[in-house]
Amino acid sequence: MTSPVLPIATERGSAVHAEISRLHGDGALVGHFRLQGGKHRGAIGPAEGATIQRLVDAAVGAGVPIVGVLATSGADVSEGVASLHAWGCVARSLAYASGVVPIVLAVVGPCVSGPALLLGLADAVVMTPETLAYVSGAEAVARFTGVTVSREALGGSAAHALRSGVASLLAEDEEDAVHAVAEILSYLPANNLMHPPYEATYDEGDRLSRRAASVVPASAMASYDVRDVVGDIVDSHSMLELRERHAPNLVTALARIDGHPVGVVANQPNQLAGTLDIEAAQKGAAFVQWCDSFGLPLVTFVDTPGFQPGKDIEWRGMIRKGAQLVHAYAEATSPRLCVVLRKAYGGAYIVMDCKTMGSDLCIAWPQAELAVMGATGAVQILHGRRLLQLNPQAADDERAALIAEYQAQYLTPAVAAERGYIDAVIDPADTRRVLSGALAALIDKRDNSPKRRHANGPL
């Protein structure tokens, strides 16, 4: 950190250093606090809590992002119950700042016990290999469950990148983590009253996206990496994928189109065939809500056969968790653009920001299939009993004819276009040009949502 602008009063003996300063000298002002070292390995006591709370309040007042570098052993036991109230005050301040200014935390050591929950209040979290973050430690796990687990397996950076989804990005060390924080913030406005920052680019907005058009196979069953499609449509080298290892069947990334920051959500066909499960729904919902908080346009790429089926996933709450993604999209007021690349089946298609969910522009590629389900399943439901009455060869011939007929009548995007469910069927090579033009037209979109305390979302 260089060029301090406004030091924050720090109580004597506090393990926190706090100031409003420039992030790596790039000109961006942030409210920055560093909690590590000092007494009890960066433990949070009354002094630390008061300092961080003042920093958060000052950052909100100044309209600048909040950046924290954390290595804390938890609440300071030596201060007793006052330490619990201290990190509770910090949590309240961060919750108040949420959606007003970006909150990005870098964890460069332990972050355990109650204060670990602060990571869940951040917009994005960067972790280094030294990270250990958990609410209950390995000893408590062994004592209560009888299961022996190492601290790294329980709450290391790899576990949070893959399993919990707490880690947005992984970094090699503290310096790399701070650079990652700066990169995330480069896509975001300083606060919710500002427009996302435009960055001049030499990548023409009307450039043809020929590579993207060639990536998607014609066969609905073939796999591909949707990141190759997105990477060709957005500005060159502008795509920053977040939570890459967690729920990889859904890609969430920051990017730019013709210099304008956007949030990208895309089904990933090479992971679980692009189906939506609980983890993917929650990952997408959190990302959509975050982008909308700061006015980032949302660009959604759809290629999904539906929700992942299974008894366990239903018992774990697929209905409630899936509805989180529905609610996040339906409530979003930033510009929303949707591109149907190939399969768009059932409720999963509706969830992925379809036209009737309030998307500002919904376009489809010519090979797109928009339907309740694929042709094979539909024919089985509609004609299964009759086909069973035929001899095997006749049944196979009739089934093939019925599938072809269903595909021609119902799976073509022309049907959806005629009914107004999509705005246009476009040449895939024109995707970047169409999205760029739409973003320019929607740059000043207004929020017409009803005034209320808050929505009662399906948490």
How confident is the prediction along the chain (459 residues), in pLDDT tens digits per residue?
445 577 776 666 678 888 888 876 566 788 888 887 655 667 888 888 888 999 999 999 999 999 999 988 877 777 778 778 888 899 999 999 999 999 999 999 999 988 899 999 999 999 999 999 999 988 999 999 999 999 999 999 999 999 999 999 999 999 999 999 999 999 999 999 999 999 999 999 999 999 999 999 988 889 999 999 999 999 999 999 999 999 999 999 999 999 999 999 999 999 999 999 999 999 999 999 999 999 999 999 999 998 999 999 999 999 999 999 999 999 999 999 999 999 888 888 889 999 989 999 999 999 998 877 777 777 778 877 877 777 878 777 778 787 777 777 777 787 878 888 899 999 999 999 999 999 999 988 887 777 777 788 888
Rounded Cα–Cα distance for residues 276 and 249 (Å): 7
193 located within any domain: no
To 10 degrees, the CA torsion angle through 33, 35, 38, 40?
150
Considering the domain architecture, whether residues 268 and 343 belong to the same structural domain is answered as: yes
Q: Count how many domains the chain has.
A: 2
Considering the domain architecture, whether residues 97 and 153 belong to the same structural domain is answered as: yes
Contacts for 195 with CB less than 8 Å, ≥ 6 apart: 189, 295, 443
Range of the domain at 230: 210-365+426-441
Considering the domain architecture, whether residues 155 and 223 belong to the same structural domain is answered as: no
418 located within any domain: no
- Reading the block at residue 62, the tokens are 């100044």
- Reading the block at residue 34, the tokens are 């560093």
Rounded Cα–Cα distance for residues 362 and 425 (Å): 9
Helix, coil or strand: residue 313: helix
72 located within any domain: yes
Helix (H) or strand (E) holding 378: helix 375-388
- Reading the block at residue 415, the tokens are 């049907």
- Reading the block at residue 36, the tokens are 């590590």
Considering the domain architecture, whether residues 25 and 107 belong to the same structural domain is answered as: yes
420 located within any domain: no
419 located within any domain: no
Residue 365 CB-half CA count within 13 A: 26
Q: Are 302 and 352 in contact (CB under 8 A)?
A: yes
Q: Are 43 and 73 in contact (CB under 8 A)?
A: yes
Rounded Cα–Cα distance for residues 302 and 304 (Å): 6
Domain boundary among 185, 201, 231: 185
Considering the domain architecture, whether residues 152 and 231 belong to the same structural domain is answered as: no
Write the CATH number for 258.
Answer: 3.90.226.10
How far CA 331 is from CA of 291, 335, 411, in Å, comes to: 12, 12, 29
Considering the domain architecture, whether residues 171 and 228 belong to the same structural domain is answered as: no
Helix, coil or strand: residue 275: coil
Considering the domain architecture, whether residues 116 and 153 belong to the same structural domain is answered as: yes
Considering the domain architecture, whether residues 108 and 29 belong to the same structural domain is answered as: yes
- Sign of the CA dihedral 211, 212, 213, 217? positive
DSSP characters over 277-308: -HHHHHHHHHHHHHHHHTT--EEEEEEE--BP
| Angle between helices 226-233 and 431-441 in degrees, nearest 10 | 60
404 located within any domain: no
Considering the domain architecture, whether residues 178 and 267 belong to the same structural domain is answered as: no
Q: What is the distance in angstroms between the CA of the first residue and the CA of the last residue of the chain?
A: 37
Considering the domain architecture, whether residues 19 and 52 belong to the same structural domain is answered as: yes
Considering the domain architecture, whether residues 19 and 79 belong to the same structural domain is answered as: yes
| Angle between helices 375-388 and 392-406 in degrees, nearest 10 | 150
Considering the domain architecture, whether residues 240 and 328 belong to the same structural domain is answered as: yes
402 located within any domain: no
Amino acid at residue number 432: R
Task: Scan for tokens 């209950």, then name that residue.
Answer: 136
49 located within any domain: yes
